[in-house]
Structure 1
Amino acid sequence: MIEYVECFLRNYQTLVVGLLGFIGVISTLIFNAWMSRNEEKRGRRNKAKSIKMALVSELHLIREAINNANKSLKEKSNDTNDSRLIPNTPLDNLFRALMGELTVLEPNTVSAILNAYLSYETYLHSLTLIATPISNPNYICISESLNAQMISMNEGLIKSLDEELKKLSDGG
């Protein structure tokens, strides 16, 4: 039996070495492809985590801005006929910049983020409906007689943002 193996190896050593080399190359290619796939998955997870964290931070900033505006409104008296100028520029620059990147996020995360920003967008459009037009397109003018309505709108937005932020913090 040993003689047979020796004879086979002597006669076919080129074939045996070639097969071993080929198997080595193929196994290296398979291993490298596996490693590359894992690296790509890790990169996508990191990108998704970064995008989610950035958008959640922006939503927290929007929530704080609206909450601070609400506190200011509650401190004002309703008996004056003055008006206030409110910036008409949305605070969603990051969301708009990352809109095309939302595809890397999980569907429930995308849903919560879109719901939060849609609530904010609806809020901004509602503000323009109760505002008095002025010559500066960067601001809208709201009468102080509408303080109660503004407070209600702000509280509605804060509640909506809180719900979506809770979903996002719970793993959404």
Structure 2
Amino acid sequence: MYEIIKDFQTLIGAAVGFAGVIITMIVQGKQARAQRRSEAETAARSMREVLDAEILTLANQLSENAKSSAEMQVKPGNLAAIRGRPLNHVFRALLPKFELLPPEDVVRITRSNMYYEQYFERLRFLGQTHPELPHQVNVPPEHMEVVAELQKNTASWMKNPPEM
């Protein structure tokens, strides 16, 4: 036995060393994949929480606006100035990274933001864009009840998008 080991010690050493390198590469590969998976899950969770916070903030603001719009006393001949541009900057900034989110979150978040952006398009049916302030829609007093209802419904749809 000693003679065999003595004669093939270089080959045995190389085989043991090569096996060690292979095992190390396999273990490091598994660790790297686990770390990437963990980082992706953390990024997805953070994105979902930030986007949900933005949706909730915007929806709550629309709810508050609905109360103000319903109570607003606009004198005949005057117009109510309402913001006419979306503020969903986080959604727009993170849109290229949506592949990190699970499909059901992508659908829910996108639908909530679509309702939000559609609100501004619908608002333009009720008033006109101010020539000097393009991000403002001027609404006549007779449409304020409709504006309040639109704001209230949009906020509700954003918080809990209806099924299609």
TM-score normalised by L of structure 1: 0.87
Choose from 23, 37, 40 the match for 1:41. Answer: 37
The aligned counterpart of 1:144 is 141
The aligned counterpart of 2:114 is 118
- 1:150-161 to 2 correspondence within 5 Å? 150-161=147-158
Structure 1 residues 55-99: Cα deviation after superposition (integer angstroms, max 9, x where no partner): 111101111110110111222347x42321112221111111111
Counterpart residue type for residue 97 of structure 1: A
Distance 1:138 1:159 in 2: 24
- 1:15-164 to 2 correspondence within 5 Å? 15-77=11-73, 80-81=75-76, 82-135=78-131, 136-164=133-161
The Cα of 1:159 is off from its aligned counterpart by: 1.8
Distance 2:59 2:146 in 1: 18
- Whether the 8 Å CA contact 2:119–2:150 is kept in 1: the answer is yes
Structure 1: gaps of 5 or more residues: 168-172
Q: Structure 1 stretches (4+) deviating beyond 6 angstroms?
A: none
Identity, in percent, stands at 21
TM-score normalised by L of structure 2: 0.91
Aligned length: 161
- Whether the 8 Å CA contact 2:79–2:139 is kept in 1: the answer is yes
Counterpart residue type for residue 30 of structure 2: W
Structure 1 residues 15-66: Cα deviation after superposition (integer angstroms, max 9, x where no partner): 1111111100110011111100011101111111111111111101111110
Distance 1:77 1:137, change over 3 A: closer
